[in-house]
Amino acid sequence: MSDREQRNAYMRAYYKANSEKMKARTNAWRKANPEKVAESSKAYYEAHKDKLLEQRKAWRKANPEKIKAHYEANRERILANHRRWYKAYYAKNREKILARQNAWREANHEKVLAQQAAWRKANPEKKAAQQKAYVEANREKIAASKRAWRAARRNQMRKDENQ
């Protein structure tokens, strides 16, 4: 057996004998230094972002049933986490979000009107229910508005008769 082969055999035996000890030491260091681990992970991700995204995309394409099973098994937890994250994000960035939404609505006013009209056409029963609920909730306000409109109309008609 040559020196090289002996060295390789020794290294394999050493690795087998000490791999658990190394794993425990590495895990202990990772737990003791979470900020260094996060910094290192972030640097690695930034350096290899394209490669990692391609690998992730390929895996997702090759394993759609695993993804579907994961989401079905963890649906409630995933949705709860998303709701919790969105609540915190919205609370922190409320003005920014509302400004962005308003700017989009102003820039796409025709699109918004078209979407509303399409929804009304597709959901007439829901629209009728909304209208009924609004009328019931605002009966006094609507009656006052109608009285004011009728009075203004009556006054206009009297003016026209007097002239």
Answer for the pair 97, 90: CB distance below 8 angstroms, yes or no: yes
Query: Is 83 within 8 Å of 76 (Cβ atoms)?
Result: no
Spell out the residues 6+ positions from residue 65 whose beta carbon is closer than 8 angstroms to its own: none
Q: H-type helices in 2-123, by residue range?
A: 3-32, 34-47, 49-62, 64-73, 75-92, 94-107, 109-122
Q: What is the structure's pLDDT at 73?
A: 95
For residue 151, is pLDDT > 90?
A: yes
Tens of pLDDT, residue by residue over 106-126, are 999 999 999 999 999 999 999
Question: For residues 162 and 56, which has the higher predicted lDDT (pLDDT)?
Answer: 56
pTM of structure: 0.41
* Pair 80, 87: CB distance under 8 Å: no
Residue 1, SS3?
A: coil
How far apart, in whole angstroms, are the C-alpha atoms of residue 141 and residue 148?
11
pLDDT at position 69 is 95
- State the pLDDT confidence band at 159, using cuts at 50, 70 and 90: confident
Contact at 8 Å (CB) between 67 and 60?
yes
Q: At 17, is the pLDDT very low, low, confident or very high (cuts 50, 70, 90)?
A: confident
Q: Count Cβ neighbours within 10 Å for each residue of 83-109 and write b for 16 or more, e otherwise.
A: eeeeeeeeeeeeeeeeeeeeeeeeeee
